[in-house]
Amino acid sequence: MAWFRSLIRFSVTKSSSSSSSPSIRPGTASPFSPFPSPSLSWLAAAHFSSGQPLAHEPPAVVPHAGLGPTKPGEKPRVVVLGSGWAGCRLLKGLDTKTYDVVCVSPRNHMVFTPLLASTCVGTLEFRSVAEPIGRIQPAISREPGSYFFLAKCTGLDADKHEVQCETATDGPDTLEPWKFKISYDKLVIGLGAEASTFGIKGVLEHAIFLREVYHAQEIRRKLLLNLMLSDVPGVSESEKSRLLHCVVVGGGPTGVEFSGELSDFIMRDVHQRYAHVKNYIHVTLIEANEILSSFDDRLRHYATKQLTKSGVRLVRGVVKDVEARKIILDDGTEVPYGLLVWSTGVGPSPFVKSLELPKAPGGRIGVDEWLRVPSVEDVFAIGDCSGFLESTGKPTLPALAQVAERQGKYLAGLLNRIGKDGGAFANTAKDMAFGDPFVYKHLGSMATIGRYKALVDLRQSKLHWDDLWGYNSAGGKGLISCWILELVHLAIGISYTCDQLEEQILCGD
């Protein structure tokens, strides 16, 4: 393991150099005097292992590292995999007096997905749609036994009550990841789903999804880059049109909302600030069936009319192949593009598929009415990665924030209750009565379509403000409810900021 090796090398030079460490000359540095003498000892302590012989040098990475099983006297440990709507809502609700909480995720923030499309063109700021996990559950940065680990889960040993993890350090200076293990008393799998490409060649290489903040940032960057490149002398007419042709594949809420935002951006900003090329930029939305198929017919037609009116070209077609500068539809039509955004729904991740657990329709992790994974002890699954087992006779719930959020909230309450009843530790809740099962009540669907217009579909439910407020508390105080915020945003396109640092860093800045 290169990472490990390099550290060993490094500690050798370190200890050898400890002898020469006094050669940092405190005395001589006139403007530095008084030279802080602690600094020298600190340098020694921190970096030169106080000159210990190499033999006693602690290895850079401790072997078999991790968190072992909780001992009597310690708090029971809930391990949460993932930091999406489900996982974060659970983290927020867990009683940290009863439990130590450990969150494992490659993302140190929660993304407020319903508003992500608005950040691509500057209607909202990136920070406005991201919330650091340390804000949602402060215990992870303060409590001795609670942690957030920037890592991904690579394996599960349900009998041993243990997960294997690996550090996630994507970025310019990616480090060789190192592995560690965490024992759990309760495990909650909230790993979400992955954007589905339907095995179409070139999607992963050339298209941009719209599920993470860094996706939105990449869309912004590319859009502006293309606007500027198309203005440089030497670009032919057809190449200008290609660079400024924004193609969106997938007519679900995300695709429609992004198309609407984009056409707003073109009418509002491009016409004013890129006058030289304003007539070359166009938006095309490609959908195999019907846009917003989950919405009521009249709403769908209204959306179609509005989008067309604001210049979005709706094309019915099936994408067969994606190349660097054009996509090919199944009828052979070639559509050149400068920006390609892909939002054709989601499916289970390879890791979820690989887990040897009972599965629900669609390859999701199967759960019972209490969101338990049967056949293994103390394991729960929530959000897009989970689904009711057929044996429950319940339908698979849609992959929506509102489902995930409600499941997280329910499970937090359930675990807190189990904790109070003495079932918090591993294998102690076997024969416990779990009380009311999870029941999902759909509050309705909403999609913005640009020009501060939106569709709200409330067929399946009567809307109560109480429900709304119940639904709100999702993302912690930094995040206002998607409902309320989308309404505000429709009204005045408001952009607000939470004075936090993390989300800016690790989401691709």
Minimum Å gap between C-beta 326 and a copy of itself is 7
Rounded CA separation 88/90 (Å): 5
- Considering only 69, 98, 155, 179, the residue that binds a copy of itself (CB under 8 A) is 179
Q: Tell which residue, 157, 160, 132, 208, has the closest CA to residue 479.
A: 132
Binding mask 81-120 for a copy of itself (x = CB under 8 A): ---------------------------x------------
- Considering only 245, 394, 406, 489, the residue that binds a copy of itself (CB under 8 A) is 245
Interface with a copy of itself includes 202 (CB under 8 A)?
no
Interface with a copy of itself includes 239 (CB under 8 A)?
yes
Read off the tokens for 375.
């056949």
Rounded CA separation 388/403 (Å): 12
Interface with a copy of itself includes 451 (CB under 8 A)?
no
Q: 487 to 506, contacts with a copy of itself by CB under 8 A?
A: 495, 497, 499-502, 504-506
What is the Cα gyration radius of the chain?
26
Residue pair 87/188 in contact (Cβ under 8 Å)? The answer is yes
Tell me whether the omega of the peptide bond preceding residue 114 falls within 30 degrees of 0, making it cis. Answer: no
- Considering only 100, 162, 185, 218, the residue that binds a copy of itself (CB under 8 A) is 218
CA 160 vs CA 74, 138, 145, 412: distances in Å = 18, 29, 20, 23
Q: 319-322 and 326-329: which strand pairing?
A: antiparallel
Write the single-letter amino acid at 289. N
Site size for a copy of itself (CB under 8 A): 124
Q: 50 to 79, contacts with a copy of itself by CB under 8 A?
A: 57-62, 65-67
CB closer to a copy of itself, 300 vs 364: 300
Rounded CA separation 16/94 (Å): 48
Interface with a copy of itself includes 37 (CB under 8 A)?
no
Q: 157 to 176, contacts with a copy of itself by CB under 8 A?
A: 167, 169, 171-173, 175
Residue pair 114/123 in contact (Cβ under 8 Å)? The answer is no
CB closer to a copy of itself, 22 vs 437: 22
73-88 core/surface letters (b: 16 or more CB in 10 A; e: else): eebbbbbbbbbbbbbb
CB closer to a copy of itself, 26 vs 347: 26
Minimum Å gap between C-beta 23 and a copy of itself is 4
- Considering only 160, 301, 420, 459, the residue that binds a copy of itself (CB under 8 A) is 301
Interface with a copy of itself includes 331 (CB under 8 A)?
yes
Interface with a copy of itself includes 388 (CB under 8 A)?
no
Half-sphere exposure at residue 177, Cβ-oriented, CA atoms within 13 angstroms: 17
Interface with a copy of itself includes 294 (CB under 8 A)?
no
CB closer to a copy of itself, 46 vs 432: 46
Three-state DSSP class for residue 316: strand
Half-sphere exposure at residue 297, Cβ-oriented, CA atoms within 13 angstroms: 0
Interface with a copy of itself includes 464 (CB under 8 A)?
no
Q: 135 to 154, contacts with a copy of itself by CB under 8 A?
A: 141-142, 147-151
Helix extents (H) in 66-195? 85-93, 116-119, 133-136, 139-142
Binding mask 347-366 for a copy of itself (x = CB under 8 A): --------------------
Minimum Å gap between C-beta 84 and a copy of itself is 18
Interface with a copy of itself includes 198 (CB under 8 A)?
no
Interface with a copy of itself includes 180 (CB under 8 A)?
yes
- Considering only 5, 97, 201, 273, the residue that binds a copy of itself (CB under 8 A) is 273
Minimum Å gap between C-beta 59 and a copy of itself is 6
184-220 core/surface letters (b: 16 or more CB in 10 A; e: else): bbbbbbbbbbbbbbeebebbeebbbbbbbbbbbbbbb
